[in-house]
Amino acid sequence: MRITTWNVNSVKQRLGHLLGFLDEAKPDIVCLQELKCVDDAFPRTEIEEAGYVVATHGQKAFNGVALLARRPLPLQDIRRGLPGDPEDVQARYIEAGIPTPGGVLRVASIYLPNGNPVGTPKYDYKLAFLRRLHAHARALRESEEFVVLAGDYNVIPERADAADPDAWIHDALFLPQSRAAFRALLNEGYTDGLRACDERPGVYSFWDYQAGCWPRNQGIRIDHLLLSPQAADRLVSASVQKHLRGLDKPSDHVPVTVDLDLD
């Protein structure tokens, strides 16, 4: 089972890149973030014609998450929105169950808040979202299903996850509170899928459009797939599809993928 997370930074602008990736990599499940469109504007027809079923949780011009499943896989028991705050209307979380020969796989696509500028309600919202995610992740882990919490976490976990970590010291992505909240998910029993397979420094998933970050490889790793113990036991490999950052008019993120043996 190949599961990919990708912040496409506007699904309509990157549709050609997305369709090319689906044809090239043939992922079974794709978790998309930052759709920047409402559900009715999502390019459902094109993606369905590429062989995928679609579930979306969209928002006009901002945020937005989606799950794609390659047929004949279904998306069942779909949840839109992270539990814990009924007043939160931002489209940042979608979750579904997928039956597999080994049992139910529960996958979430998550777009965590950036949190900048620090010292404002935006950072408070980020930390509150992370606390809610921790509580829900615990409940999912206790279900003893295969769980993959995938997405743009907007957290740089360690210094090795940034080309220039000192440049991020005062940024919401790298503050101690943000990193501690991410570690709390790992301490809950989740495994960082990519790091379980590749501990090398210099492995990034995001390069800013500014200041020549891409040609100078000034990247950071903020896109993660966290695996429950049951899913981590079935982890085969993990990879970053870095070459997609070199396309014409790319997203500033690239896909990150794990392969699980769920037969």
DSSP conformation class of 51: T
Known binding-site residue numbers for Mg(2+):
7, 34, 152, 154, 252-253
Question: Catalytic: which of 28, 152, 161, 223?
Answer: 152
Largest CA distance in the chain: 48
Residue in 81, 88, 91, 194 with CA at minimum distance from that of residue 136: 81
Q: How many CB atoms lie within 10 A of CB 238?
A: 21
Q: Is 204 a catalytic residue?
A: no
For residues 77 and 84, what is the distance between their CA atoms, to the nearest angstrom? 18
For residues 148 and 231, what is the distance between their CA atoms, to the nearest angstrom? 7
Residue in 234, 154, 162 with CA at minimum distance from that of residue 193: 234
Q: Is 111 a catalytic residue?
A: yes
Cis omega (within 30 of 0) on the bond before 201? Answer: no
Given a contact cutoff of 8 angstroms between Cβ atoms, the answer to whether 56 and 64 are in contact is yes
For residues 157 and 141, what is the distance between their CA atoms, to the nearest angstrom? 21
Question: Catalytic: which of 17, 136, 224, 253?
Answer: 253
Question: Catalytic: which of 93, 111, 123, 190?
Answer: 111
Residue type, position 53, single letter: V
Q: For helices 176-187 and 121-142, what crossing angle results, to 10°?
A: 10
Question: What is the set of active-site residues?
Answer: 111, 152, 253
